[in-house]
Structure 1
Amino acid sequence: MSDSTEPESPPEPAWLVAANVVAWRRRGVGGQQLFPGTKSFKGGAKVYVAAVHWGPGGDRLTVIGRERHTGRWIVIDTATRHLYGFHPRLVHTPRVLARLNDVRNPGRFGPEEALDTSETLERYAQRYRAEVSPHSPHPDHCLCHACLTGECG
């Protein structure tokens, strides 16, 4: 009896853009409400950009990350403004690479393209965070990402 099933080799590593979810985000009328993280991800969670939707200006991304409540790896579209700290990363995690294969038009990069994309996405994220309720003052002791990092001036 011969066993024709060979053990699967690990998937080939891929260059992706990694980012973190903002700890707090402004929401509601005038941006006066603060919410931790996003509906799907905890604040500070690491996510990997699977696809960038450049058409409307890069305001939406398809990301892979661990879901807030269950810890399962999920693929979801999210707003660019909810992420920060974009940086290139060579990903070896089999679960991330498996989810990347499920994405339509995945964003596989080389190291230089990942660096350029991460810098561009960081600029977009800062711009989009500044556009959230631009004429409303931040509440006292605001914990939003822009106030914590000094982006809001």
Structure 2
Amino acid sequence: MEPTEEETPDGLLGWCLVANVARETTRGESGLDIQRGTKHFPVGALLWIPPVRWDPGWGRWRAVGRHRGNGRRYVNMVVRADDLENFRVKGVYSEGLVRSLNGYDHDPTAPRTLQNPWTRERAQSWADGRNDLRESIVIDGQRHTRITVPNPPPAELAVGGEILHLAQYGIRGPHYSRMPPPVEWVPES
């Protein structure tokens, strides 16, 4: 359902999903190298995410933003979805931004027309889905994709009448065990 003419702000060219670059991003083997921002975008940079027309790879999205080295021009980059946070919907008002969002499909005869626009509701649905991330769990070495937990995961989880205990949490998600955690021995004084 598109907004009526009274609800559409003056100069609005379309809606777009946006996100900010996360404060901490992971790189390297097992994600142990923590960095501030990404190579091309600083922490908190606003990135405009056009609807997916081609898949650049699992967990990666095409994004448009102002480059770390040149804050005046918009650039198209492929970024990791895990490096983004605070997803929301914003209106597009700039012809330069429209040109970057359209990419190769940009029509110079219609500079204010988004070629593949988001609807406000679809973009909001994507934003809500990304902001409420849930992860599938591993129980005693076996992944269970239908059982999900929030991030950060709870220390104990009741599944099918048994209590599972968080054994490990890392980049591969939460690992639970049926065995309770070991009790730390404290010498008597």
Q: C-alpha separation between the residues in 2 aligned to 1:119 and 1:107? A: 21
Superposition TM-score, scaled by structure 2 size: 0.54
Q: Which residue of 2 aligns with 1:44?
A: 44
1:77 maps to amino acid: V
Displacement after TM superposition at 1:84 (Å): 0.6
Change in 2 beyond 3 A, CA 1:95/1:54: closer
Greater helix share, structure number: 1
Question: Is the aligned partner of 1:119 residue 2:128?
Answer: yes
Q: Which residue of 1 aligns with 2:4?
A: none
Change in 2 beyond 3 A, CA 1:103/1:33: same
Q: C-alpha separation between the residues in 2 aligned to 1:13 and 1:27? A: 36
CA-to-aligned-CA distance 1:50-105 (integer Å, 9 cap, x gap)? 13378699612111100011222101111100101110111112211111121569
Change in 2 beyond 3 A, CA 1:37/1:28: same
Q: C-alpha separation between the residues in 1 aligned to 2:67 and 2:129? A: 26
Q: Which residue of 1 aligns with 2:31?
A: 31
- Would you say the 8 A contact 1:40–1:67 is kept in 2? yes
Greater shift, 60-69 or 30-39, is seen at 30-39
Gap regions ≥5 residues in structure 2: 1-10, 106-113, 136-150, 152-168, 175-189
Q: Which residue of 2 aligns with 1:92?
A: 93
- Would you say the 8 A contact 2:19–2:46 is kept in 1? yes
Displacement after TM superposition at 1:123 (Å): 4.1
Q: Percent of counterpart pairs with the same letter?
A: 24
Greater strand share, structure number: 2
- Would you say the 8 A contact 2:50–2:118 is kept in 1? no
2:80 maps to amino acid: A
Q: Which residue of 2 aligns with 1:74?
A: 75
Q: C-alpha separation between the residues in 1 aligned to 2:94 and 2:25? A: 28
Question: Is the aligned partner of 1:108 residue 2:117?
Answer: yes
Q: Does the residue aligned with 2:131 lie in a helix, a strand or coil?
A: helix
Q: Does the residue aligned with 1:48 lie in a helix, a strand or coil?
A: strand
RMSD: 3.3
Question: Is the aligned partner of 1:60 residue 2:99?
Answer: no
Gap regions ≥5 residues in structure 1: 1-10, 136-153
CA-to-aligned-CA distance 1:29-56 (integer Å, 9 cap, x gap)? 3433211111110011001001337869
Q: Which has the higher contact order (CA 8 A, sep 6+)?
A: 1
